[in-house]
Structure 1
Amino acid sequence: MLKFIESIKVLNGDTPDINEHLQRVIRTIQYFYSKSNEKFDFISCVYTVLERERDKISDGLFKLRVVYSDRFISGTLIPYIPKRIKRLKLVESDDIEYPFKYENRTAIDSLLSYKDKCDDILIVKNGVITDTSYSNIVFERMGNLYTPDSYLLAGTKRAKLIREGLIREEKIRPCDIDKYDKAYLINSMLDLYPVEALEF
């Protein structure tokens, strides 16, 4: 059975980006389970988990990891501390596919063996920049923010920032990286987390 995950930011008991996650869950279920009679209320399931842990999450930053298929499977809350990601290693993989947030990340995780002494990888597919192993990437040039139009996964934070006009999509190749001043990681838990270096 295919399983999917959503990693939801819970800040001081609130879920500020829950609607972005809901839209992705709806797209996933419609694609894989359009003929299924099994339906579940994603929002209600999330808030049931939060209510169960209400006393623990009233203060601070937590990650709610939801596992689902055509039904809710589990929800786990843990305190969130960002990984220390300072250096990215560019790794090429023309076969990599991750259009949905599958629980099985074997294809991506297998590429981590090539990161050498870096903290994470930045995947290059068919000659263009895509994502890191767990986030989308944003580049800054002259105060403007850009994200690759060749992403692997349409991240929730990425979608929100594009909709709000804070970042723009453009084609970014490895040879273009020097044109940018800074690089940042974004995902449901990270808001423009700075990267210090990219290694080829």
Structure 2
Amino acid sequence: MQSTDLLLETIRCEGGKLHHLAYHQKRVDRSRKELFVLTDTLDLASLPKPPDEKLYRCRVRYAKKIESVEYIPYTPKEIRTLKVVPAEIDYHCKFADRSQLERLLRKNPDADDIIIEKAGLITDTTIANIAFFDGRQWITPKKPLLEGTMRAYLIDQKFLREENIPSDLLDRFEKVALMNAMLGFTILNNIKILKS
């Protein structure tokens, strides 16, 4: 197996519990079915227990079977600047190989993270799904780079609405937030958005 075949699932672990496990399980099952034509389940509920009750990033590397499980203490990355960068990349499955995303980030050292724009529409940042507040509701891109588990949960809760978000209309929004399994839903205060 090549390293490019490996997939990654990052699960928030706190208080000795894995959070939103059903959403992670659904994505693992969907990815394995699409990439390997497998319909069995890698039971995430049976993962090894964390070392203690602290906050960890549970990192599961898998393909046809689970290859490794790590519990890594979590410290969020501080984001003060985002930059909109056009790029035609495919990351619809959560591959362990993030070299395309890392390369884009390295090419834009003036920003803490980048917002990837595809065909004039906003998708995601390199580390998270994104949402914008229009004064009434939080809106997330209809076509994200990756369908995240926290994003799916918040759509199910009717907290988020999906819409196409043209990059040239970002100025109409009042607030911006990032979301992923580890961040939850985090509103970015005093954020600066740069254009390419």
Q: Do both share a fold (TM > 0.5)?
A: yes
Q: Which residue of 2 aligns with 1:41?
A: 42
Q: Which residue of 1 aligns with 2:192?
A: 197
Are 2:142 and 2:164, in contact at CA under 8 Å, matched by a contact in 1? Answer: yes
Q: Secondary structure at the match of 1:186?
A: strand
Report if aligned partners of 2:55, 2:73 keep a CA contact under 8 Å in 1: yes
Q: Considering only aligned residues, what root-mean-square deviation do their CA atoms show, in Å? A: 1.5
Report deviation, 1:180: 0.6
Match of 1:160 among 141, 153, 156: 153
For residues 168 and 151 of structure 1, the distance between their equivalents in structure 2, rounded to whole angstroms, comes to 13
Is the CA contact (8 Å cut-off) linking 1:88 and 1:115 kept in structure 2?
no
* SS of equivalent to 1:57: coil
* Alignment partner, residue 70 of structure 2: 76
Alpha-carbon distance change, 67 to 45 in structure 1, aligned in 2, over 3 angstroms: farther
Whether the 8 Å contact between 2:133 and 2:176 is mirrored in structure 1 is yes
Question: What is the aligned counterpart of 1:22 among 25, 31, 41?
Answer: 25
| Structure 1: distance between partners of 2:105 and 2:76 | 18
More helix by share: 1
Q: Which one of the candidate residues 76, 87, 90 is aligned to 2:81?
A: 87
What letter matches 2:44 in structure 1? I
Does residue 7 of structure 2 align to residue 4 of structure 1? Answer: yes
> Does the alignment pair 1:104 with 2:97?
yes
Question: Aligned partners of 1:194, 1:44: CA distance in 2, in Å?
Answer: 30
Q: 8 Å contact 1:140–1:183 — kept in the other structure? A: yes
TM-score, normalising length from structure 2? 0.91
Deviations 1:22-55 (A, max 9, x none): 000000111122258xx56322442xx21xx3xx
Alpha carbons of 1:194 and 1:35: their partners in 2 closer, same or farther (altered >3 Å)? closer
Counterpart residue type for residue 197 of structure 1: K
Aligned partner of residue 18 in structure 2, secondary structure? coil
- Does residue 57 of structure 1 match 2:58? no
Equivalent position amino acid for 1:66 in 2: V
- The TM-score with structure 1 as length reference comes to 0.90
**Percent same amino acid at aligned positions?**
32
Structure 1 residue identity aligned to 2:138: L
* Contact map agreement 1:137 1:183 (CA 8 A) in 2: yes
Displaced runs of 4 or more, over 6 A:
none
- Structure 2: stretches of 5+ with no match in the other structure: none
Q: Distance in 2 between matches of 1:21 and 1:40?
A: 12
Structure 1 residue matching 2:17: 3-state secondary structure: coil
Whether the 8 Å contact between 1:86 and 1:194 is mirrored in structure 2 is no
